[in-house]
Structure formats: structure tokens, C-alpha cells
Amino acid sequence: MGVLHTVLALIVTLGILVTVHEYGHFWVARRCGVKVLKFSVGFGKPLYRWFDKTGTEYAIAWIPLGGYVSMLDEREGTVPEEDKPYAFNQKSVWKRIAIVAAGPVANFILAILAYWVLFFSGSSALAPVIGAVQPDSPAYEAGVQPESELISIDGEAVFSWQDAGMQLLSRVGDTGQIRIVTQEWQGYRQQEHTVSVDRWLAGTKEPNPLTAIGITPFSPHLEPVIGRVLPDGAAQRAGLKVGDRVVTANGEPVVDWMHWVTLVQSSPDQQMTLEIERQSRLDSLVITPALRRLDDGREIGYIGAAAQPAHWPEGMVREVRYGVLESVSHAVAKTADMIVLTLDSIGKMVVGLISVENLSGPITIAQVASDSAKGGFESFLTFLAYISISLGVLNLLPIPVLDGGHLMFYLAEAITGRPVPEKAQQFGLRLGMMLLAGLMIIAFYNDLMRL
């Protein structure tokens, strides 16, 4: 069932993104007077197709990893004399630029719409209150104190941990200073801190900027009480039930939930004798945590149980909600910030400041899409916006085969007044295909290694 959910999440996500992207090309092409022959979502043999009154074919194909819009073009076959005015290659260079750019622009518009829905409907965010500062860490050396709230990073206001994480993530690979302003939690006194970095986290696989800087977010005290038991897990097989309080493990008193997690993770494939409190009575049982291997090679224990919901202090959980028009400006600003962050990350990856191991392919996208869908509408919409922005940015890169490569040729034509020679275009397309194939191989390899 898990695999089916993952596959369905991938199909839905890619289906939305591809349809929006290709519809951007389609919509502008129609308005520029170009005859569209086919609009396909997916590749391969069509599962379902139909035609409109203009003769355009619409198809849903069985390989849901892309799509395309086929337009009338003399470079791709013979065009009847009466149809030549409607051919793509007969249109002015500026119309061709508009048609090619429309796909990525449509992806950015989708992201703006997704963020607008989130800002208008409202979402919850955790205040960036620091729970602990690791000794001898960059944040500790800069004087950052526990139980203080992050106010701004590099002059940019932060409202939640997501804001703080994204702001720090933009500094990965940098050399210089990170300026952090904190304020007493529910107080007024502010303090500025300066963290010096040198090629910070350069080349790190899946960098975690909060951990690297030495900051641990505040989390409420969790009692060692079982809140959820997953089917077919070690917890269910051992007889643990919702509401059980773990009192001791192998004779050691269990202080809180995190202590219990630490004990479980340190005991893979090892029997643990538990003393539990169930309905005011003490009982004992034996559990053997399953072994789970992490990406970094570590082996930990896992029982398939979760804690009861946390009770956060008043004011710690914030509601993010704006009016209709205000949501538009925030959505545009958020999309612009994500575009800049994506471009910055690509640039750092090219020069080696960010590891290529962070590239992801369809397997990782499918897994994250599935997890986002399980997390609810808000989580999935946020993921959809991020992937839509990534798709738009990647398609605008000046790589022949991609939209950005075609734009590069057409802009050169607009500047020089004549088309780029056919041989040069063909060479560029072959080079672009090789580069794209290389990136896809790396992404697939990274996906497999993550599995």
C-alpha cells in the first residue's frame, strides 16, 4: 500500500506540474497564431485522447514523467502552403521567445497561486525559539543564548523555523559573516551576534544549517507515553498499546520521550525488558527493536510507535494568515525568494560549494510527494510550489534541449538579426542532451543510494 501511495503521489504531482507547464506553451502559442498539433501529458502510447474543433489532439499517455506540446513547424516536416502562416518558425522572434518562456512562467504562476492559498487560508508555524545551544558551536562562540528567539538573520526578519532554516540554507558554501539578532523569549531586550564562516558546509551531503551552527529548536517536554502504534511494528508485536507509560527499560528509569527514543535507537535487534504503567497498574513486557540503517551508515533501533501530541506554550504556535490582496504580495515575494535561492544553489553546485549528492531524481520526488500528501493539504501544497519553482528555474537554464537553450538561440537571433546557424543549433542540442543525460544519471544514482 505504501508503494502504491508513493506512485500515486508522484503521478499526481508530475501530472499537475507538467500540465501547467505545457499549458503555458499551449496558451501563448494559440494567442500568437501558431497551430498546435498535439498537447500530451505523459510520453508513449496514449491511454486516452480526443480532438477539439481546430484539430488539436489532446492525449494522456502511459509514462507520467513529462509531456509536450507539438506545434506546426517547417523544420519538422512539410507544411501545406495555406498553413505556413500558422507555423511556429514563421512567427517573429519575439513571439517565439514568448511561447518558449511561457512554460516556466506558468510554473512560477502555479507557485504564486499555491502560496496565495496558503497565506490566505492560513497556516501554523512554530516561533523560532532556541531550546539549546551546543557547546563550542559557532552559535555558542557568538554568544547565542537558549530560550531566546531568532528575530532576523542577515537583516531578513524571521517569523518561524522555516524562515530561519531557509535563510541559513542560502549561506551554505559562503565565506564571511552571518549576522543573527535574537530577543528574549516574550521579552524585549535584543542582542546581535556575528558568526564567522569559511566555505560553510561546502560539499556536505544534505546539509542541516541549524545543526551545523549549533542551534536546537525548543521542544516541549514529552512524557514517555505511547500516542500511536504502527501496524506490524515491534511495538505492536510486543503488546504496547496507546496510553501505555514506559516506566523503566532494562531496569533504567525512563525520564521522558526523547530518553526513551535514545534507548530504543541504541538497541537494534536487542531484547529490552520494559516496565509499563497501564490504567494505573504496572506490567512488564519484552520488546526487540527492529534494525534500521540510516543514509550515513549508522544502525539504529526502531519499534514503530509515536508520542502523544505535544502541548506547546502559549504564543509558540503562530497563525500565518493575510487578506486577499496582501496574500498576493506575500506569495509573489515568497516565489521570488525561492527562485533566487534555487539559482544560488545551482551556482554553488557548479563551483563545488554544494555537493552534487544533493541532486534528486523521480524516486526521491515520489517519496517526498508521498510524505507531503500524508502530511495534509498544506504540506503537499508547499511541496508542489517548491517543485514547480525548481522545474521553472531548471527549464530556463541556458542548456540546449531545455526551454532556456531555445531562448538563448532566439535572443541571439534578436540581437544579430539572423538565426543561429542550423549546424550550431544541432551541435548545441547534442551537447545539451549529453549534459542532461549526465545529470539524470547522477540524480538516479543519488536516489538509489538514498534507498
| Active site positions, annotated | 22
**Per-position b or e across 363-378, b if 16+ CB within 10 A of its CB:** bbbbbbbbebbeeeee
Rounded Cα distance between 217 and 208, Å, is 13
For cell 550550431, the residue is: 424
Query: Do 164 and 150 meet the contact criterion of CB atoms below 8 Å apart?
Result: yes
Query: If DSSP codes are grouped into helix, strand and coil, which group holds residue 107?
Result: helix
Cell numbers placing 110: 502555479
Query: If DSSP codes are grouped into helix, strand and coil, which group holds residue 219?
Result: coil
The pairs formed by 281-290 with CB atoms below 8 angstroms and a separation of 24 or more are: 282/247, 285/238, 285/239, 285/240, 286/238, 287/234, 287/235, 287/237, 287/238, 287/240, 288/234, 288/238, 289/234, 289/264, 289/265, 290/233, 290/234
Dihedral angle at the C-alpha atoms of 345, 12, 432, 348, nearest 10 degrees? 10
Burial of 178 (0-12, 13-18, 19+ CB in 10 A): buried
Rounded Cα distance between 20 and 13, Å, is 11
**Looking at the DSSP assignment, which residues form a beta bridge with residue 70?**
38
**C-alpha separations of 225 from 59, 239, 287, 300, 390 in Å:** 53, 14, 16, 21, 41
360 — phi, psi (to 5°)? -125, 150
